[in-house]
Amino acid sequence: MRCAVMRAFADLLDGLIYTRSRNAKLKLLGNYLRATPDPDRGWAMAALTGTLDLPAVKPALIRAMVEERVDPVLYAMSRDFVGDSAETIALLWPAPSAPAAAPASLTVSQVVATLGGISRSDAPAALAAMLDRLDADARFALLKLATGALRVGISARLAKTALAQAFGLDVDAVEEVWHGLVPPYGPLFDWAEGRAAQPSARDLPVFRPFMLAHPLEQERIDLADYAAEWKWDGIRVQLVHVAGETRLYSRAGDDITHSFPEIAGAFATPGVLDGELLVKGVFQGGAAASFNTLQQRLGRKLVSARTLADYPAFVRLYDMLFDGGEDLRDLPWSARRARLERFAARLDPGRFDVSAVIEAGDFAALEAIRAGARDASIEGVMLKRRDSPYVAGRRAGLWYKWKRDPLVADCVLMYAQRGSGKRSSFYSDYTFGAWTTEGELLPVGKAYFGFTDEELKWLDHHVRTHTVNRFGPVRETDKSLVLEVAFDSIHESRRHKSGLAMRFPRISRIRTDKPAREADTIEALRKHVT
């Protein structure tokens, strides 16, 4: 059956790559999920949502494998031109000396079963044998599946939305049960096709989707209807304690409990809380350190006693989803806030506090208070409708984020690199620098968004006509172009020669009117360091 083989998954990826329309992507995914049997569709969903892990297969292994069969110079040149490793290998992979038997019998499930239970030493031979059985399109799909680097223009949320629409389910209900299940999601599809009841996550410490905010643009908010809180500059987390187990989740739903054992150990009261993970310090309101300090704790699988002592973490609480087993999400914000304050009073004050409500008489007074956010290294202000329920995702008119105005600097374009996917033909990733007092240009950041499609074409042309050196897919320019770069903050960094690193840099303007020698200096940027 065609839908059960790798070809169907290849057709899906091909369609998603070349389709820009969100509705068209939803239709493609929905059709695939309805037509494909279990467990293939479940493994495909795991791959599309980033939850499939085949640890034996790494990019370096694949690169070494292909260089045994293809001239390494040819591969490197082709990779630089194509911009995607999987596509390059799929096109260059040589035909086997003897045709493989039953080339159309390979399924997604067979791929996962083979590569999921194999050692790294045996992985090259197994993967090569599968590649020999497939055509170029299916090889591309296999490599994307094996490495987990799909990059086909969809998010995990879009994939779940497609599943919900395909089977007439509520997407928030899908999102909620999702985190209590494991691939290939048999119970999920049993529920979707009416063979079983909705899976329950009641007794599991699972992640619930966060409520998110829309940016405040030109609106002026009536503070009689909205409460204002500070938007702290840490990472959004969810604390869950159910059935004697505690989990700490990031905004993306990743389990980060192991990175912050002191927080998990201090939260032993049944409930689900929403808050901001911070490190103690003297920057944000005099109680929390900068985001740069928090980064010393992020991504660590093992946390030493010294790290725990040097960077003590705590959570500033925003909201409450569950009080014990009671679901509070349908209650208005004001009621949840009252419950949160009572709940937090029972927690360790060294590890948890409640984000204060900003007292302001009217919106004009709040504007004046917000103006001091940068001086206190606070990210901005949150505005929450007092009668708002806690709902997953962004809902118009309920919550707003009013971030502090970005900083800007005039920097000189130094290097450009080809993008990936739809941008593989363009030099779209830009490294830029600022001047030292001695007249040396040093990198301070890298950006790949903020510009329009027309500006991208102009920048690509500039790079191609002002190249002075080539380093694989990277071009060094003549350092004649000034870019106005917007960024949220700037921090000390030992990884960069300049000693500085920007946070969330983006290109806000192309300064063809400004000579490169008049761009900003390292010393000027250093004045904004937090």
Residue 358 carries which DSSP code? P
DSSP H stretches of helix in 40-155: 40-48, 59-67, 72-82, 85-92, 108-116, 123-132, 136-147
Measured distance CA(387)–CA(333) in Å, rounded = 6
Query: Which residue type, as a one-letter code, is found at position 528?
Result: H
Lookup result for tokens 């699972």 = 206
Cis omega (within 30 of 0) for bond into 39: yes
Distance from C-alpha of 354 to C-alpha of 351, rounded to nearest angstrom: 11
Residue 181 CA, chain-centre distance (Å), reads 21
Instruction: Identify residue 383 by its one-letter amino acid code.
Output: L
Residues 90-113: b if buried by 16+ CB within 10 A, e if exposed: bebbeeeeeeeeeeeebbbbbbbe
What DSSP element (H or E) covers 523? helix 522-526
Secondary structure element (H or E) that encloses residue 161, with its range = helix 156-167
Of 383, 342, 506, 522, the closest CA to residue 439 belongs to 522
Burial pattern 388-409, b for ≥16 Cβ within 10 A else e, equals bbbebeeeeebbbbbbbeebeb
| CA pair distance 233, 231, nearest whole angstrom | 7
Residues paired with 429 in a beta bridge: 417
Active-site annotation holds for 231: yes
Give the CB-side neighbour count of residue 513, counting CA atoms within 13 A.
Answer: 2
Q: How many residues are there in the chain?
A: 530
Tell me the C-alpha distance between 505 and 406, whole Å: 10
List 144, 231, 384, 403, catalytic entry: 231
Q: Tell me the C-alpha distance between 195 and 55, whole Å.
A: 33
Closest CA to 451 of 496, 481, 492: 481
Residues linked to residue 366 through DSSP beta bridges, in sequence order: none
Q: Is the dihedral of CA 146, 152, 156, 159 positive or negative?
A: negative
Contact 57, 86 (CB under 8 A): no
455-479: buried (b, 16+ CB within 10 Å) or exposed (e) per residue? ebeebbebbeebeeeeeebebbbeb
- Are the C-beta atoms of residues 262 and 268 closer than 8 Å to each other? no
For residue 202, give both structure tokens.
């009641």
Q: Which residues are catalytic?
A: 231
